[in-house]
Amino acid sequence: MNQDAAETLALRAFGWLAGQSDVLGQFMAATGADVSSIADAVGQPSFLAAVLDFMLLEEDRLIAFCDAEGVPYAAPMQARVVLPGGQVEHWT
């Protein structure tokens, strides 16, 4: 997965979140985002990374998104690794 594909998937995830009023409220509470800041942040890789972090926190939410969007279950994690802060450090 490359940066563009990861950002596109994260935007799709945010679109799905925005359509789920209860989940959107949880996302906003967890990230500290508000309606006025989302418009400016939505195109930034760090915000998109936060969207995927939130999606990956709960398996039921992740599965619901993937099923609704026809996305493989592993794709959000693959996208998260590409976005800022997602690199996995190997200590061995």
DSSP state of 88: P
The closest of 6, 89, 5, 2 to 48, measured between CA atoms, is: 6
Each residue's pLDDT tens digit, 22-79: 888 888 888 887 777 777 777 888 889 999 999 999 999 999 999 999 999 999 999 9
Q: For the whole model, what pTM was predicted?
A: 0.85
Distance CA 26, CA 89 (A): 29
φ and ψ at 73, to 5 degrees? -60, -30
Per-residue pLDDT at 78: 95
